Homo-oligomer: A and B are copies of this chain.
Amino acid sequence: MEKISVGILGATGMVGQNYIRLLDNHPWFEVVYVAASPGSAGKRYRDAVTGSWHMQTEIPKKAGALIVADANQISEAKGRCELLFSALEMDRKAVAELELGYASEGFAVVSNNSTHRWTEDVPMMIPEVNPHHLDIIPEQRKKREWSSGLIAVKSNCSIQSYMTPVYALERAGYKVGRMILSTLEALSGAGYPGPSAINVMDNIIPYIKDEEEKSEIEPNKVLARIENGAFVNHEPIKVSAHCNRVPVTHGHTACVSLEFAGQKPTLGDVRRIWKDFSGVPQELDLPFAPKQPIIYREEVDRPQPRKDRDKDKGMAVVVGRLRECPVFDIRFVGLHHNTVRGAAGGAILTAELLKARGYLGH
């Protein structure tokens, strides 16, 4: 099979580097194009990231040899790739226009940026949870008169520690009504350079700009239905999120108390539902799909970021400490790798789903 040619917008930043790392030797996709700010344009990718390469593995040879293009010049990408992962870091308006520009020129754009999350006809994907949201794409193309282009986005990383577990319960017939949760989020969630070392040494910061707002509304788009070409959620979950930055490199943890709206499962039901959960990415055996999307740990003190974030190559959600909640119904701890599952890895899985569903290629 010929690989699909892929470009990375914002390739020199931390999320962009994660794409380069994770796509090295991908069975379906091949990175042939990298673009960044005008300041990096014209350099070899290797040279553009020297001194600021943050991955533990070395720069892949092939990607390292690519010449960085200017991400603002849509025309430069034309004819060179068909799928674009966007890790652009500019002001929201510029990103919004640029991503639309690429899509209107026929590129499939899968974005980490938050700009288009609430654009009406753009799906906000967690592939195990809402694979059917891709059904909006024909609407998107029709309305915008795009023949082959498209835009899909991922949700905020903060909600991914619990959205798959929550969805698993809903799919099993246990509607969730309310949740109160606290997150302990990793440094890499803030991008690079992120917090100053001196600010988080012997400290935690109980505030992340805009994070609580995103965490409270995004679940309800992710869980929405498509009705008349729009995302509609008739029974939104009420969410209260307390978001904290903690001195951990990677891995967002969430402590969740949850109340059901209708019938309630037993703890045994919940545990079994999570352990047995499997989604469309698993059925389709997509390359980046974790074998077990929800790993339940029986140990009393897990999940823990350093020990559990890399499970199934960082693509699994790891859950533990399921117990009765004295105020709501149940409570638990969820964890995921924020720069893999919650960012570049999740976007790659979305692109794989797009491919499997026939939205890529001509």
The residues of A with any CB-CB pair to B shorter than 8 Å are 50-51, 54, 56, 178-182, 184, 187-188, 192-207, 216, 238-240, 242, 244, 246-249, 253, 255, 257, 299-307, 310, 320-321, 325-328, 331, 333
Instruction: Take A180-B257, A204-B304, A244-B255 as given contacts and tell me if A196 and B198 are in contact as well, using a CB distance cutoff of 8 Å.
Output: no
Please determine whether B249 and A303 come into contact, CB atoms closer than 8 angstroms.
Answer: no
Please determine whether A300 and B239 come into contact, CB atoms closer than 8 angstroms.
Answer: no
Instruction: Take A182-B255, A242-B331 as given contacts and tell me if A198 and B307 are in contact as well, using a CB distance cutoff of 8 Å.
Output: no
* Given contact pairs A192-B198, A193-B196, A194-B197, a sample of 9 additional A-B residue pairs in the complex whose CB atoms are under 8 Å apart: A182-B242, A184-B206, A184-B244, A195-B196, A204-B246, A206-B304, A206-B333, A242-B255, A244-B253
Q: Chain B nearest CB: distance from A305 CB in Å?
A: 5
Please determine whether B206 and A303 come into contact, CB atoms closer than 8 angstroms.
Answer: yes
Q: Which residues of B contact A216 (CB under 8 A)?
A: 326
Please determine whether B325 and A206 come into contact, CB atoms closer than 8 angstroms.
Answer: no
26 CB < 8 A contacts A-B? A51-B299, A180-B327, A181-B182, A184-B204, A184-B206, A187-B197, A187-B198, A193-B193, A194-B196, A194-B197, A197-B201, A201-B306, A202-B202, A203-B304, A203-B305, A203-B307, A204-B304, A205-B301, A205-B304, A206-B301, A206-B321, A207-B300, A240-B257, A240-B327, A242-B255, A244-B253
Q: Chain B nearest CB: distance from A298 CB in Å?
A: 9
CA distance A40 to B198 in the complex (A): 23
CA distance A353 to B90 in the complex (A): 52
Please determine whether B253 and A54 come into contact, CB atoms closer than 8 angstroms.
Answer: no
Instruction: Take A247-B247, A255-B206 as given contacts and tell me if A240 and B198 are in contact as well, using a CB distance cutoff of 8 Å.
Output: no
Instruction: Take A326-B240, A331-B240 as given contacts and tell me if A321 and B184 are in contact as well, using a CB distance cutoff of 8 Å.
Output: no
Please determine whether B240 and A325 come into contact, CB atoms closer than 8 angstroms.
Answer: yes
CA distance A255 to B182 in the complex (A): 7
Q: Chain B nearest CB: distance from A321 CB in Å?
A: 6
